[in-house]
Amino acid sequence: MDYVKGIFKNRPNRFIAEVEVDGNLEIAHVPNTGRCKELLVEEAVVWLEPSDNPNRKTKFSLRFVENKGVLVSLYSQQANSIVYDAIVDGKIKELLNYSLHQREKTVDNSRIDIYLANENEECYVEVKGVTLIVDGEARFPDAPTERGAKHLKELIKLKKQGNRCVVFFLIQHPAGKFFRPNWDNDPVFSETLNEAYRQGVEILVYRCDNQLSGIELIPQSLDFDLAQSLSNGIVDD
């Protein structure tokens, strides 16, 4: 993919951004509905995916932004594909030995991102892409998410029915070294995540290596901390 370099100017709404490309002001689609306020700051360098589809309202999609000296992926839906491919390729040690791999399994009124199964068990995996970094600490969400809490409650229900359930946080900002839920922005999601963990839902945290030539999951799990008190944080060693 040949990306186009741009300069971020403004974000009129959560779906589009105004960017400068070769001295011209262009409109780009933003494939991330999070706030991203700490990333999409005026004059930030962004990388755009061009499109020649005449039916599109915008001819660019905003894929990466440079922040803290690294590339941050803003394509939140891509997190699902990255995790799924890593599972299939055997890069996630906690999710090996499943013979069936399926994207988007419908359960009641919800759709779980990844479904895995073997002759002994079924496993449901919900993926969350993380871009908010505070002092090296990855936090999710960066804005309140009722949908996210709903997914966690669905996993709790499935766990009580005897299934294996996993919340998978993929840190899409390479500067993130460990993870905690964002109690300040969404205490409801954070408490629901704690409850899920108490009920036996597993939490996995991995991060990405982002390059314009491609994105790869780094096959090394990271620590996390569910505590509400910031004084109980995990020290990065």
Cα separation, 214 vs 29, whole angstroms: 20
Indicate the CATH number of 4-67 among 2.40.50.580, 1.20.58.220, 1.10.260.40, 3.10.450.30: 2.40.50.580
| pLDDT for position 181 | 96
Tell me the HSE value of 15 on the side-chain side, using a 13 A CA sphere: 2
Query: Using omega within 30 degrees of 0 as the cis cutoff, is the peptide bond preceding 141 cis?
Result: yes
Which string of DSSP letters, residue by residue, matches 85-147? HHHHTT--GGG-S-SEEEEEEEETTEEEEEEEE-SS-EEEEEEEEE-EEETTEEEE-SS--HH
CB 62 within 8 A of CB 19: yes
User: Is 78-232 the same fold as 4-67?
Assistant: no
| pLDDT for position 106 | 87
- Res. 237 pLDDT band, cuts 50 70 90: very low
10 Å Cβ neighbour count for 33? Answer: 12
pTM across the whole model: 0.88
Comparing 41 with 237, which gets the higher pLDDT? 41
The mean of the pLDDT values for the chain is: 90
Comparing 172 with 57, which gets the higher pLDDT? 172
Largest pairwise CA distance in the chain: 59
Is the four-CA dihedral 143, 145, 151, 155 of positive or negative sign?
A: positive
Tell me the helices (H) and strands (E) count for the chain, helix number first.
3, 15
- Per DSSP, 194 falls in state H
| pLDDT for position 202 | 97
Comparing 205 with 36, which gets the higher pLDDT? 205
Cα separation, 128 vs 90, whole angstroms: 20
In the chain, where the domains are located: 4-67, 78-232
Q: The tokens of 232 are what?
A: 């109980």
Q: The tokens of 104 are what?
A: 């988007």
pLDDT above 90 for 236: no
pLDDT above 80 for 210: yes
CA distances for 184 relative to 28, 35, 88, 99, 226, angstroms: 30, 14, 35, 40, 13
CATH of domain 78-232: 3.40.1350.60
Question: Left if phi > 0, otherwise alpha if psi is -120 to 50, otherwise beta: which for 137?
Answer: beta
